[in-house]
Amino acid sequence: MKSNLIKQIVYEMRHQPVIGLVTVVGTALAIFLIMVVAMMQEVKTAPFPPESNRDRMLYVKNFDVSTLEGGSEYSTGGISWDVIHELYDTLPGIERISFVAVYVNRADVGVTGNVPFNVDLREVDDEFWNIMDHTFVSGHPFDKASFDAGLKVAVINSTVARNLFGTTEAEGREMLLEQIPYKVVGVIEDVTPLATLAYGEVFIPVREDTKRQTWGSREGTRFGGPIHAIPLLEKGADPQAAREEVKRRVDRFNDRIKEFGIMAGYRGTPFDFEAAHMAFDNSAEPDIAGERRQRLLIYLILLLIPAINLSSMTQSRLRRRVGEIGVRRAFGSTRANIIKDIVSENFVVTVIGGVLGLILSLIFMYLLADVLFIPDQLLSNPPRLNASILFRWATFGYALFFCFILNLISSGIPAWRAARINPVNAINGHSK
């Protein structure tokens, strides 16, 4: 049966090369585009090193304060050190939590006697290293004792290490960060900016002046600040418990600040990774359902239009095989059998096109990553995709799934119609 199927496909391809080629190219094009769209989305939320825990990582980034009457007071893209600890530290179901400065900053590093150069600086705490899994080339991350003591220690990436010291074996060496001496305790492998939270070239403990910064509208009400939190969910835990506790804490916090005529908003935080990517508005919950609907609509359009094309081609192909279908029906083949054969025959062609499309999409993503992904700020490194991001089982799963759907839409109706042909008419060559 299977060899018949392959023989049939080869025969069709040889006798109708243009139709066969157009079908394969059309399928490849559809799968290519849909895979590029799907992978661009995947890169934002799927786990890859050093953000291997993305499926358990939550995120806190926005803060908003309104008047008791409901008017807007202010909103900020970060929370002050004290307030974020008050609201988010030690939550139920949370294994650990890291507090980090909001964005990567441009800072200069150098060694005495040399001209300093710009690097992407990230201020983090000691827990950051337990949540992310950076690869250390030499040395180690800074620990809690160093962080609490406010030691001037730094972890740098391999490129910075080579530029500063000519080697990645830089543990224990001294560098100047904005003209302040820092001791290098560890050197990590370079990280792609696509790992939005783990990316940085130089990592130092959150500085005292960052901890002291508060943002807000007036004296006594400045609760915003430059800190974000990254809670790591316990394995199998439900984030809802943590969210309910945060809501209780926000209520308590609001009781305390109501003397200023204001209240903080609870916006369903901590967000999971997908929601955090959509949370652009500081004072509103991200519309996950709306975003997913929009994505589904895009996938549907990307599948439906090529499917209509392929469907009319399948229909055309089948009209040439009316006689064959008639004979098979006359010899007792059931309609279900005819449909099954046509759909599976088409599926093989779809998979051939799909594999081509997938390979094309992987090459395209690898070569054009810096055009496809534009970081939110000026960074020293372009976004690069590596094998661990590109070659994931989920990617192949998606490709196969999209092929299956495309095949079902494009061959389902023609196969169903072909199977309904009256055998007598079919043998006479009439497609009714």
Partner 1 sequence: MKKKLFRQIRNEWQANLWLTLELMIVSVVMWYCADLLYSTASMRLMPSGFDRTGCYQVELRQIHPDSPNRIEYSDDPQDPNSFVSDLGRILDILRAIPMVEAVAIGDNAVPYQYNYYGSFLWGTMDGDTLSVNVNRRQMSPDFCRVLGIRGINGETPEELTEILRRGDLIVSENAFHSIADRKNRISDYVGMKIILDGDTSHIRRVGAIMPAMKRTDYEVPWAGTILLGVDEKSSNAEYMGNMALRVKPGQEKEFEEYFRETALRSLHSGNLYVTDVEPFDDLKRVAERFDWIETRNTICCMAFLLLCVFLGLLGTFWFRTQQRVSEISIRKVNGATNWNVFRRLTGEGLGLLCIATVPAVAIDLLLAYFEFNSYYKGFLNTERMVACTGGVFLLMAVMIIAGIWFPARKAMKVDPAVTLRSE
- Which residue, among 286, 268, 223, has the nearest Cα to 79 in the 3D structure? 223
Q: How far is CA 249 from CA 91, 226, 243, 245, 365, in A?
A: 10, 20, 10, 6, 44
Stretch that binds partner 1, among 78-86, 130-138, 218-226, 374-382 (CB under 8 A): 374-382
Stretch that binds partner 1, among 66-74, 157-165, 302-310, 384-392 (CB under 8 A): 302-310
Note whether 22 binds partner 1 by CB under 8 A: yes
Nearer to partner 1, 35 or 84 (CB): 35
Give the one residue of 6, 10, 149, 308 binding partner 1; rule: CB under 8 A. 308
Give the one residue of 26, 226, 231, 326 binding partner 1; rule: CB under 8 A. 26
Nearer to partner 1, 60 or 322 (CB): 322
Note whether 374 binds partner 1 by CB under 8 A: yes
- Which residue, among 64, 83, 61, has the nearest Cα to 276 in the 3D structure? 61
Instruction: Report phi then psi at 255, rounded to 5.
Output: -60, -40
Distance CA 214, CA 222 (A): 6
CB of 153 to partner 1, least distance (A): 14
Nearer to partner 1, 182 or 253 (CB): 182
Note whether 388 binds partner 1 by CB under 8 A: no
Give the one residue of 25, 68, 327, 424 binding partner 1; rule: CB under 8 A. 25
- Which residue, among 261, 281, 256, 262, has the nearest Cα to 271 in the 3D structure? 281
Distance CA 430, CA 386 (A): 55
Kindly state the helix (H) or strand (E) to which residue 370 belongs, with its residue range.
Answer: helix 369-372
Note whether 28 binds partner 1 by CB under 8 A: no
Note whether 214 binds partner 1 by CB under 8 A: no
Note whether 90 binds partner 1 by CB under 8 A: no
Segment 215 to 254, residues that bind partner 1, using CB under 8 A:
none
CB atoms within 10 A of CB 258: 11
CB of 221 to partner 1, least distance (A): 21
77, 82, 86, 89 alpha-carbon torsion, rounded to 10°: 80
Query: Are the C-beta atoms of residues 65 and 262 closer than 8 Å to each other?
Result: yes
Burial class (CB in 10 A: 0-12, 13-18, 19+), 85: middle
Note whether 106 binds partner 1 by CB under 8 A: yes
Note whether 377 binds partner 1 by CB under 8 A: yes
CB of 302 to partner 1, least distance (A): 8
What three-state secondary structure class fits 48?
strand
Note whether 278 binds partner 1 by CB under 8 A: no
Distance CA 47, CA 322 (A): 50
Nearer to partner 1, 336 or 378 (CB): 378
CB of 108 to partner 1, least distance (A): 4
CB of 359 to partner 1, least distance (A): 18
Give the one residue of 89, 169, 178, 281 binding partner 1; rule: CB under 8 A. 178
CB of 352 to partner 1, least distance (A): 16
Give the one residue of 122, 134, 211, 317 binding partner 1; rule: CB under 8 A. 317
Query: Are the C-beta atoms of residues 142 and 151 closer than 8 Å to each other?
Result: yes
Give the one residue of 68, 296, 305, 327 binding partner 1; rule: CB under 8 A. 305
Rounded CA Rg of the chain: 29
Q: Before 50, cis peptide (omega within 30)?
A: yes
Distance CA 362, CA 195 (A): 19
Note whether 108 binds partner 1 by CB under 8 A: yes
**Where do we find the tokens 């009209």?**
319
Nearer to partner 1, 8 or 130 (CB): 8
Nearer to partner 1, 317 or 329 (CB): 317
Token pair of 176 as six digits: 């100047």
Nearer to partner 1, 100 or 307 (CB): 307
Note whether 425 binds partner 1 by CB under 8 A: no
Note whether 376 binds partner 1 by CB under 8 A: yes
Distance CA 293, CA 289 (A): 6
Give the one residue of 49, 205, 306, 326 binding partner 1; rule: CB under 8 A. 306
Note whether 312 binds partner 1 by CB under 8 A: yes
Report which DSSP code applies to 174.
E
Query: Are the C-beta atoms of residues 358 and 398 closer than 8 Å to each other?
Result: no
**Where do we find the tokens 């999971």?**
272
Note whether 38 binds partner 1 by CB under 8 A: no
Beta-sheet pairing, 72-76 with 63-67: antiparallel
Query: Are the C-beta atoms of residues 307 and 410 closer than 8 Å to each other?
Result: yes
Binding site for partner 1 (CB under 8 A): 18-19, 22-23, 25-26, 29, 33, 106, 108, 115-118, 178-181, 301-302, 304-306, 308-309, 311-313, 315-317, 319, 371, 374-378
